[in-house]
Structure 1
């Protein structure tokens, strides 16, 4: 369409490329997420490595607790962002916007801060808010996070199978493929259930999954449409 307009008018026509730029941005965002999740899936190739397998199991055990902790930490962190922003918005350049305030608090969590600026901005409120943030966020919240990871790591180390190696896995698969090794009873039962499972019983579940997928696609389309408009 754009090429035809240029050919008809020899380039002397105004073409609004705003919609095309929006669509290009959306496709770029989708491509970025696809690359991200596609790269993350390469972690499955490292599941035979003992440390990587331990890392994956640790995240699996700590998943629900980390989600709860993230919700709690986000509430606490947002409250401190509002506190520092409203108190020092007219006195510190680091608190001139919410984004800069969050960046300053994140640097304070990493122990990169200038206490003299806070003291100069407010002799009492500066050190008080700073001490309150260090106690609640750095000491309490970070200790909770480390405790969750430590407990999940201990559970994963107790339950992970350290004897799983890629060579033995490939050898077992090859032996079963050529018929030198028979499958055990549990694997045989699972195979029989998968082969003789009645598909009618799974039909309602598949319908629910289809409805959920259609709903997700519809939500994505509405978001893209709202973004383009």
Structure 2
């Protein structure tokens, strides 16, 4: 742990260099800093990493995590937060009543799942916020006792802050989808929701098929090019590369340079099966859905001109039945002497 003046830190580094603190057995060196800006009340956790590769090179990364523990900077934010908490409690009461009324049928509704997502993420955010508040008090007390001359580890604070950010992000995601139901009075949004509801089974089946094909290519590209391409160094980077290839926004030059045979072969196979086959099946599915819907519409709303002659025949037959019934009634009255 280095602290004090800059000249003292340089002296300590020179001593470490003389003692061969970094030798051929060293695999990584971590440098962690904690910065504090008193003008904006901002803490920054800095992590510098130098990895010594077996090939003799050094791979360096830097990670900066700014943390602002003061969430409420105005009275308006505090009022909106309190209003949001009461709003969530109100929706919890409504959803609990619906759960007792519908029981298992409650989970068959799509909007029920969205509502549970909003409530769950909101309650989780409230709990994590109090956790972060407790961590803030601990760091503040430690900073006040040491006057900033002791290294303060902010890894737990960064972890809690990331969890809070993820929960707020999912809460915004579910809330945005909820707006589709709230704006269902609009004809276009209502049509969009009905279209999704109508083709839900087809979309789910296509998604499962596409996921299986995509995961197979994800495994193939990752295992073949993990040591040859930086864009395939992890599963996440490989998935990003494949999505770019699906959108035809990634050239084949780097894949061809990685391997003379497997590069062009895998690229061609992916483009053919995913872009041309899978996406074409999606278009065929959409056309089948539209055709079936048109057939239903035509069966319900047939052209009136085509049925005009049939309607006239039905009208004349109705007049004939009325005339025959009247003649039968007159003959019966005459026989009765009326």
TM-score normalised to the size of structure 2?
A: 0.40
Within 5 Å, which residues of 2 pair with 1:72-221?
Answer: 72-152=209-289
Deviations, residues 136-174 of structure 1 (Å, cap 9, x unaligned): 111121122233444445667867xxxxxxxxxxxxxxx
SS at match of 1:123: coil
Matched with 1:217 is: none
CA contact under 8 A between 2:139 and 2:152: conserved in structure 1?
no
Aligned residues: 159
- 1:71 is aligned, of 208, 231, 252, to 208
Shift of residue 80, structure 1, vs aligned partner: 0.7
CA contact under 8 A between 2:246 and 2:275: conserved in structure 1?
yes
Shift of residue 49, structure 1, vs aligned partner: 2.7
CA distance in 2, matches of 1:141, 1:4: 56
CA contact under 8 A between 1:69 and 1:145: conserved in structure 2?
yes
Matched with 2:306 is: none
CA distance in 1, matches of 2:143, 2:280: 67
> Given the superposition, is the C-alpha separation of residues 79 and 154 from structure 1 closer, same or farther in structure 2, using an over 3 Å criterion?
same
- Whether 1:62 aligns to 2:214 is no
Aligned CA-pair RMSD: 3.2
Shift of residue 121, structure 1, vs aligned partner: 2.9
> Given the superposition, is the C-alpha separation of residues 84 and 150 from structure 1 closer, same or farther in structure 2, using an over 3 Å criterion?
same
Within 5 Å, which residues of 2 pair with 1:9-48?
Answer: 9=145, 11=147, 18-48=155-185
Matched with 1:52 is: 189
> Given the superposition, is the C-alpha separation of residues 68 and 15 from structure 1 closer, same or farther in structure 2, using an over 3 Å criterion?
same
Matched with 2:16 is: none
Deviations, residues 173-218 of structure 1 (Å, cap 9, x unaligned): xxxxxxxxxxxxxxxxxxxxxxxxxxxxxxxxxxxxxxxxxxxxxx
TM-score normalised to the size of structure 1?
A: 0.56
User: Quick one: higher RCO (CA 8 Å, sep 6+), 1 or 2?
Assistant: 1
> Given the superposition, is the C-alpha separation of residues 129 and 2 from structure 1 closer, same or farther in structure 2, using an over 3 Å criterion?
closer
CA contact under 8 A between 2:227 and 2:233: conserved in structure 1?
yes
CA contact under 8 A between 1:62 and 1:152: conserved in structure 2?
yes
> Given the superposition, is the C-alpha separation of residues 4 and 85 from structure 1 closer, same or farther in structure 2, using an over 3 Å criterion?
closer
Matched with 2:37 is: none
Shift of residue 46, structure 1, vs aligned partner: 2.9
Stretches of structure 1 lacking an aligned partner (at least 5 in a row) = 160-229
CA distance in 1, matches of 2:238, 2:140: 50
Name whichever structure is richer in strand by fraction: 2
Shift of residue 16, structure 1, vs aligned partner: 6.1
